[in-house]
Every structure is written in C-alpha cells, then in structure tokens.
Amino acid sequence: MTNSTLAGQVALITGGGTGIGLGCARALAADGAAVVLAARNTERLEAAAERLVAELPDAEVATVACDVTDEASVAAACEHAAEMGRFSIVVANAGYGSASPFHLTSTEEWNGVINTNLTGAFITMREAVPHLVAAGGGSIVAVSSIAGVETHRFMTPYTVSKAGLEMLVKQVADELGPSRIRANAVRPGLVPTDATEGMMQVPAIVDDYLAQMPLGRAGLPEEIGAAVRFLAGPESAWVTGTCMSVDGGHHLRRGPNLDAVMDMLHPDGTAPTA
Ligand code: NAP
C-alpha cells in the first residue's frame, strides 16, 4: 500500500533500477510519488519497475533509458518526467567506483568515474532545474559516499568525484534556494549492492569496514532510501545544502583498508619504486 504524502509529485531517479537507487525509488513510491527510473540498461529497468509495481500496486512507475554523461539523453529523461506531472524531485544517484594505485590510475579511468559521478550529476541537476522551477520548486538529493569525506586509498577518482559532488550540492542549494529549490546529499557507508559485490567476497575488507562502524553492520538500500525520502519531502522543507551520513557511524572513524584488493590486483606492490 502507498500513502499520499508525495502524491502529485514526480521523482526522477538516475541509476534507479538497482541497489541504492531502487531503494530510493521504493521509498518515494511508497509515499505516493510517481517515479521514473533512469539508467542505461533498459532490461534491468523494466524488471525493477515490474517488481516495484508488484510490491506497491498503487504506484506509478515509469522507466527511461538514460546515460547521465550524455546531455541530450538526460534532457529527454527530464522531459519524460515532466510529461508525467509535477516534476519536483530529482535523485542524482548514478555512479560507480574503481580501484587502482594512484600512480597507475589512467586518465581514462579518472575521466570515466568523474564524468559519471560528478559531471553526470551536474548535467542531471542542470537539466532538471528549469522543470523544478516550472513546478513551483523542488528537491534535489544527490547520493554521495563516505568516500567524499574519508580517504579510501586506491580509489582516488571515486573519492574526488564524491567530494566534488558535495560541493556541487552546496552550490545548487545556495544559488537556487530563492527559486524554492533545495539540494542535499546523503552519504552512504557500505551497502551490499551489485557495486560492492566483489568487496563483500573478501572477509578482510568486510571485517575492516565493520570495525570502523559503531553500529557494526552494513546498511540496506532501504535505509538510504529513507534518508533520501526525508530530504525529498515536506518534513525537510527548511533543510538545504546539507550532506547526511547514513553509514552506521563509519564517518566517525577512518576509511576502509583496501589493501586486500590491491594485493590481488597488484601482487608486486602498490607503491612506485624509487
Ligand atoms: P549499483 O547497483 O551498481 O548502482 C549504480 C547505478 O548507476 C546502476 O543502476 C547503473 O545502471 C547506474 N549508472 C551507472 N552509470 C550510469 C550512467 N552513465 N548513466 C545512467 N546510469 C548509470 O550500485 P549502488 O551501490 O546502488 O550505487 C548507487 C550509488 O550509491 C552510486 O553513486 C554509488 O557511488 C553510491 N554509493 C554506494 C555505496 C555502497 O556501498 N553500495 C556506498 C556509498 C555510495 P546502468 O548500468 O544500467 O546505467
């Protein structure tokens, strides 16, 4: 069953067909928003939409093929959302990480992560803003990461992309508040999803993650979705420019020790030789 707190609003969720994005879509749809799941893999999007409607029969769920690195594709996804009604919620969630020693990080790897996580979020927000203004205001929520504030050795493009994303959110919040647009971020810690499947197979890494969390467990996509839902909805009407950690308290300690991954990828060592 859905309730109606967000009824009459349309939410666009990039990367909405899997993991955290799907958790966000579920939380928004459960409270009455029509949701548009946007990503590149349309088969996965369709399957996710079917699952959501099966769980929430009252929900209005649409899908749209979208690559956040492609301006025309993002503009079309925003048009699609606007045609469905009052397009007033955007979740900039699409993203991925990579792992390499700093001195072996290729420009291609750097550009790939930055183009998706940071430039893709910028394009998503920029293309959505005129629609949100036309809707009388709205809420943008970006999915950052604990990696935006804690170093993660061997993940430089990812950490830098998320740190940039948090400043992007603050810029949008400051500049567009007078247009009744709010912008905030959630900062998840470790959540088992497709993206973290490989890491979750390495006990040394999982143990180290858990040792850094006062609450001692990994999170769930639904727990990130609940925070995004709060920041999207009327309960946070006076909240803008914030980044909310949802990470079992991991931000209080240090970034994870990823040496075990590097030992597998680079058994000859990860430091440049003198
Ligand atoms: P995921 O299931 O792999 O989700 C990533 C989503 O992004 C996929 O649906 C993917 O769909 C989409 N995507 C990737 N590149 C895209 C592009 N160019 N255009 C449009 N969509 C694109 O992993 P996840 O863990 O849920 O990640 C979601 C977000 O949470 C990411 O921003 C990630 O950095 C962040 N995060 C995750 C964790 C964690 O522990 N899982 C922790 C902190 C932050 P397609 O491949 O079909 O396009």
Please name which of 139, 171, 149, 258 lies closest in space to residue 207, comparing C-alpha atoms.
258
CB of 46 within 6 A of ligand 1: the answer is no
> pLDDT (tens digit, 9 = 90+) per residue, 164-182?
999 999 999 999 999 999 9
Report the distance separating Cα 129 and Cα 109, nearest Å: 29
Minimal-distance CA residue to ligand 1 atom 43: 145
Minimal-distance CA residue to ligand 1 atom 10: 15
CB of 232 within 6 A of ligand 1: the answer is no
Q: How many CA atoms lie within 13 A of 93 on its CB side?
A: 29
- Selecting from 3.40.50.410, 1.20.1560.10, 3.50.50.60, 3.40.50.720, what CATH number does the domain 9-265 have? 3.40.50.720
Handedness of CA 220, 224, 226, 229 (dihedral sign): negative
CB of 105 within 6 A of ligand 1: the answer is no
pLDDT number for residue 184: 99
pLDDT number for residue 2: 64
In the reported structure, the alpha carbon of residue 178 is separated from the centroid of ligand 1 by a whole-number distance in angstroms of: 31
Mean pLDDT of 55-78: 98
58 has a pLDDT exceeding 80: yes
Q: What is the residue-averaged pLDDT of the chain?
A: 97
CB of 41 within 6 A of ligand 1: the answer is yes
pTM strictly above 0.95: yes
- Residues marked active site are found at 158
Minimal-distance CA residue to ligand 1 atom 12: 15
* Per-domain boundaries in the chain: 9-265
pLDDT classification of 1: cutoffs 50, 70, 90: low
> pLDDT (tens digit, 9 = 90+) per residue, 184-225?
999 999 999 999 999 999 999 999 999 999 999 999 999 999
pLDDT number for residue 45: 98
